[in-house]
Amino acid sequence: MTSIYPPLTRLEEHRKQFPALANKAYFNFGGQGPLPQASWEAMQEAYEYLQQYGPFSGTVNDWIISQVRQTRVAIASELGAAVKTITLTENVTVGCNIPLWGMDWQAGDHILLTDCEHQGVIAAVEEIARRFQLEVSTCPIQ
């Protein structure tokens, strides 16, 4: 059986990109928390590019489209997935809402949430449960 997890040495290489995690175990999601150094630097470069060419210019729009395409390709390559299966959203809540609203829910289906969910996810689940007569349970993890 092939493991989907990277070898420990590779994991350690990735962790080095997060200076804030040097002496911590971190179990949160990517919606909040420390950024890897490469992401921080890429964000700074992006803001500098926007300042140079203007945020609403055709040049910037073309650049953004190119950057999104390259990012999707890089993520797909890293995961061994097809590029068409990679979607980038403006935040985690939108990323959770897309599959939640895209499911073929049937009355009586069950959704299990943790007690640490973001309010945007909770609100979506509550509305979906109301519309489709679903059961919702919360699992305490704190």
Q: Using a pLDDT cut of 90, give the percent of the chain over it.
A: 61
Mean pLDDT of 100-109: 96
Decide which of 68, 85, 102 is a domain's last residue: 85
Position 3 in a domain: no
Distance CA 51, CA 54 (A): 5
Tokens of 20: 């804030």
Number of independent structural domains in the chain: 2
Asked if 91 and 71 count as a contact pair (C-beta separation under 8 A), the reply is: no
Q: How far, in Å, CA of 9 to CA of 24, rounded?
A: 17
The answer to whether position 1 is within a domain reads no
**Residue 35 pLDDT:** 80
Residues 55 and 121 both lie in one domain? no
Overall average pLDDT of the 57-68 stretch: 95
Position 12 scores a pLDDT of 79
pLDDT digits (tens, 9 = 90+) for 2-18: 555 555 577 778 778 88
Q: What is the mean pLDDT of the chain?
A: 87
- In a shared domain, residues 13 and 60: yes
Residues 6+ apart with CB under 8 A from 137: 110, 111, 112, 113
Is position 13 within any domain? yes
Mean pLDDT of 40-53: 93
The dihedrals phi and psi of 139, each to the nearest 5 degrees, come to -105, 120
Cut 0.85: pTM above it: no
CB-CB contact of 82 with 76 (8 Å): yes
Q: Give the range of the structural domain holding residue 80, as residue numbers without chain letter.
A: 8-22+32-85
Tell me, yes or no, whether 79 and 97 share the same domain. no
